[in-house]
Amino acid sequence: MHPSRSLHAKPPRSHHHARSRSQLPPAANQDFQFQFQLLPKVFQFHMDGGGGGGEGRVVDADRGGKLPEKKVLAQLDQLSNGGGAGAVRPWFAMKVMDKASLESRRKLSRAQTEREILQLLDHPFLPTLYSHFETERFACLVMEFCPGGDLHALRQRQPGKHFPEHAARFYAAEVLLALEYLHMLGVVYRDLKPENVLVRDDGHIMLSDFDLSLRCAVSPTLVKSSLSSDPKRASAQSCAQPAACIQPTCFMPKLFGQKSKRSKSSQPRQRHQQQLASALPEVVVEPTGARSMSFVGTHEYLAPEIIKGEGHGSAVDWWTFGVFLHELMYGKTPFKGQTNRATLFNVVGQQLRFPDYPPTSNAGRDLIRGLLAKEPQARLGVKRGAAEIKQHPFFEGVNWALIRCSTPPGVPRAVEPIVVAAPPSKPPPPPPARS
């Protein structure tokens, strides 16, 4: 086996209690680093047809998928999450990229950008890059494994192949926080779709795949809230509860499809708090200066400005967020045509129409309508980023600060990796017969 030319590793974090490397005991850090040194060896043994090694095993997650990109699962026998005889060995997802194929398609820079972005991330709804290494032929990224599959597969298993509105709200809220964090880092995601939203074993989500993402400069801006202290004007602008991301409140029952219980005596106090919050300045950290002419993305999720070749920026993420929410709630994207070409024509020229079934709330349709504005400058979120979207009535009752403590709509059945038996080795040739 060829030695790895680069190897970076950091310890796994708990989904609920993340700890940085500096908080771990030195011995734990050293042991973790040593165990991940085995990954190149285990992986090379798998690519040579062995299926695994004495230190662990590698499983083909794509079931025969073709390179230049392939996803496999790795398990190290010496790395466990508790020690002892009954300790469970964790699985890791490994993205494998054929360097020669990427180079021939001029995509080496995208692979490097994806690795650099993954190294920046530290967020509960984004992946952790545990390690990356290279062999002579492959570049590998080792990340956490989500046994719940993706939202596309989970949606297909729902009655009517769509999520109830309270579930769509939950998943959309977590994705919105992930996009907000990416924009704060100067990353335009550009590839949001249910297939790229993975479900962890606890039911919360993880955004994945950053090979189409765009990196750019970002500068924080302090702006005064655009909302008036007049409650009537605030409601007319379709943006309720301007203090939603400031006021600490519990998850309201409305998040789970029930009616919110409010006393009449608390309404004047809430209006007063909203008026005070509307006067507070906001910190907007959006990559507003990002511009790209690349034609990237999935046809049904492409923003009009990408299709028209006018150049695009961070507003494309809010367009894809609207298409994403539409698919969760209605089971299909809003502009899908019979062919890819027809889909592109619909995105640019067709008016948004909502299906008659399933019935959805006015707030949900209003949010999707604001996100799917054809002109980027008229799109919801383009001025104040995720803060503008989080204050929409559709997300009323969401406690953004404690969303990780909320109960997901459901904990999906874990998808267990299928261990493929290693092919039998060829018997040695018989010794030559003596004359």
Looking at 216-322, which runs of residues are DSSP E strands? 221-224, 281-284
Active site residue 191: yes
Give the integer Cα–Cα distance in Å for 54 and 56. Answer: 6
Extract the tokens encoding 421. 């038996």
DSSP secondary structure letters along 135-189: -SSEEEEEEE--TT-BHHHHHHTSGGGS--HHHHHHHHHHHHHHHHHHHHTTEE-
Q: How far apart are the first and last CA of the chain?
A: 39
CB atoms within 10 A of CB 406: 18
Annotated catalytic residue: which of 191, 209, 211, 317?
191
Question: Crossing angle of helices 165-184/362-371, nearest 10°?
Answer: 30
DSSP secondary structure letters along 393-415: GGGTT--GGGGGGSPPS--PPP-
Extract the tokens encoding 229. 């202290």
CB atoms within 10 A of CB 324: 27
Residue positions annotated with a catalytic role:
191
